[in-house]
Structure 1
Amino acid sequence: MGRVFVIVLAMWIALASPAAAQAGRIPSSRFEGWTSAIIAADWRDGRGRPIEAFDNARRDLVKGFLGAGFPRATMVDYSLRPDAPTPATPQIVLDGLYDAATRGSAGCLLYFTSHGVPTAMVFGDAPRMTPDMMVNIVRRACGARPTVVIVSACYSGIFVNTLSAPNRMVLTAASRERTSFGCGADETYPWFDGCVIEALPSATDFLALAAGARACVARKEQEHAVALPSEPQLFVGSEMQLRLPTLRFNRPTG
């Protein structure tokens, strides 16, 4: 019996090795089966003129989260820009999100980048997305799964209370009373999105990502002498407090 146990243990260790994971015998990421959606929900500056910052962020956030271990097979990304190579309507975005959620049932990452007003977030040319609308989308797509919702927009703190639940983490670019920055024609990304992109390569998990992004935003605002900082908000539900440290991002090894 002892000899059989040793053989079985040796086989398990071999299958659990990085080489075995790369060969596809076991999942190579803790995010196998997670649905992820990254949505650029606006394409204009404050005067309605087209800008590239939101779409730049969508493109490079996709790269960053793929590198962190989120599978492409259950990831969708959309631009609501009318002249995008593959233009999407708000309904196409929601249908695509719900379809992806049927293919990846282990967890959810939803990331929105857009403009915001004190009561809602711009969602293309559809009616603006209120907190009640957002929570209904999250409930339908993600249910009781572990869920991370990131909202990059002015006044995005309005979503925190409504989205708060034990199975969720919510990270926003600003408090409910504050604007965020970087949505102009001369910016590569909105500042918050740029800070998430900057923090992703070294972050070990979502908690480290939130800390890195918030520190980066504070640094940028100090460098630009911003009078009223955006105050990014973070909520972590009781279930997620235990789960998030175990959901570690993929990182290159020596």
Structure 2
Amino acid sequence: MRGAAAVIGLLALLFAPMQPARAAGPFSNWTAVVVAGDFHAHSGGPTEAFDNARRDVSRALVDLGFEKDAVQQFSVRPQRYPADSPGRSEARTIYDALRTRAETAKAGCLFYISTHGSPEGVILGEQMLRPHLLAAMLDDACPDRPSVVVISACFSGVFIQPLQKGDRLILTAARPDRASFGCGEDDKYPYFDDCFLATAPSARDFATLGAGVQACVARREKDTGTEPASEPQVWIGPALRPMLPLYAFNRSKSKTP
């Protein structure tokens, strides 16, 4: 009887329908970090806007085709968000995590930060993350591969020139000499992050996403009477531009809950 059962079991395995392998998407071998760099509103009081953006942008990236385990989150107050298990928002911690993941996920890198900014750089916890430091971090952790850098902060256009590389796309929330908006105590997200999340579901790739965010922010600022306009910036490296069709967002992935 045991022999007969073994034969039946073997036959069942042989003739069972094969499960199709999941096709690898264009971002399946990428690594990503999404950072909330502060928790203070422009008034000085607390705000959840940056951490809300950190959480929901991470989910949006998974919907666009990034692997869930490849998206690492960082917060100034990580103990406040046990469900997300973020790391602490410190330059060295973020760099180490990005470099470690990028040693095996070698297809590309994404860096996204939502925080306050100044003409000198952006707030990262108790530190100031300056453009040349971020450029050095990304160049060292993610060499010789495409990268996407998104900086949601006032004056974030100051990062574009130091970060420029042929295979890099840079999206910032403002011109180098302009503030961005939506960092109040009661704001769910900064305007830029809100527009990123609203535009992502219909965008084809990061280039169209950037253009859609620019238009969305302009409408939002006009509707709310905030001025002068922040004018989000998009810069695409010449080597990456013709390759963008290869990095179309993968709509076949199941949506995150």
Q: Under a length normalisation based on structure 1, what TM-score does the superposition of the two structures give? A: 0.86
Q: What is the percentage of aligned positions where both structures have the same residue?
A: 39
State the Cα distance separating 1:25 from its structure 2 match.
5.1
The ranges of structure 1 where at least 4 consecutive aligned residues each deviate by more than 3 angstroms after the TM superposition are: none
Secondary structure in 1 aligned to 2:183? coil
Q: Deviations over 1:50-102 (max 9, x none)?
A: 21000000111011110000012322111122653356151323222222222
Please identify the structure whose Cα radius of gyration is greater. Answer: 2
Change (3 A) 1:209 1:227: same
Secondary structure in 2 aligned to 1:235? strand
Alpha-carbon separation, structure 1, partners of 2:72 and 2:21: 22
Alpha-carbon separation, structure 2, partners of 1:23 and 1:44: 48
Contact 1:118 1:176 in 2 (8 A): yes
Find the counterpart in structure 1 of residue 99 from structure 2.
Answer: 98
More displaced, 190-199 or 43-52? 43-52
Find the counterpart in structure 2 of residue 243 from structure 1.
Answer: 243
Q: Deviations over 1:104-141 (max 9, x none)?
A: 11011111111001111101112x01111110111112
Q: Which runs of 5+ in 2 are unaligned?
A: 1-17
Please show how residues 133-172 of structure 1 align to structure 2 within 5 Å.
133-172=133-172
State the Cα distance separating 1:227 from its structure 2 match.
2.5
Q: Deviations over 1:223-246 (max 9, x none)?
A: 012230001111111111111122
1:201 maps to 2:201: yes
The aligned length equals 231
1:42 maps to 2:34: no
Q: Under a length normalisation based on structure 2, what TM-score does the superposition of the two structures give? A: 0.85
Alpha-carbon separation, structure 2, partners of 1:163 and 1:92: 20
Alpha-carbon separation, structure 1, partners of 2:20 and 2:57: 26
Alpha-carbon separation, structure 2, partners of 1:183 and 1:239: 35
Contact 1:218 1:229 in 2 (8 A): yes
**C-alpha RMSD over aligned residues:** 1.8
Q: Deviations over 1:183-237 (max 9, x none)?
A: 0111100000010000111111111110111111000011012230001111111
More displaced, 234-243 or 97-106? 97-106
1:129 maps to 2:129: yes
Alpha-carbon separation, structure 1, partners of 2:156 and 2:247: 25
Alpha-carbon separation, structure 2, partners of 1:177 and 1:89: 25
Contact 1:35 1:103 in 2 (8 A): no
Secondary structure in 1 aligned to 2:60? helix
Please show how residues 4-23 of structure 1 align to structure 2 within 5 Å.
23=20
State the Cα distance separating 1:46 from its structure 2 match.
2.2
Contact 1:165 1:237 in 2 (8 A): yes
Find the counterpart in structure 2 of residue 212 from structure 1.
Answer: 212
Change (3 A) 1:168 1:247: same
In structure 1, what residue type is equivalent to 2:20? A
State the Cα distance separating 1:250 from its structure 2 match.
1.5
Contact 1:108 1:147 in 2 (8 A): yes
Find the counterpart in structure 2 of residue 8 from structure 1.
Answer: none
Change (3 A) 1:243 1:129: same
In structure 2, what residue type is equivalent to 1:36? A
Contact 1:75 1:100 in 2 (8 A): no
Q: Deviations over 1:130-181 (max 9, x none)?
A: 1111101111121121011000000000000000110111110000000000
Q: Which runs of 5+ in 1 are unaligned?
A: 1-19
Please show how residues 46-65 of structure 1 align to structure 2 within 5 Å.
46-65=42-61
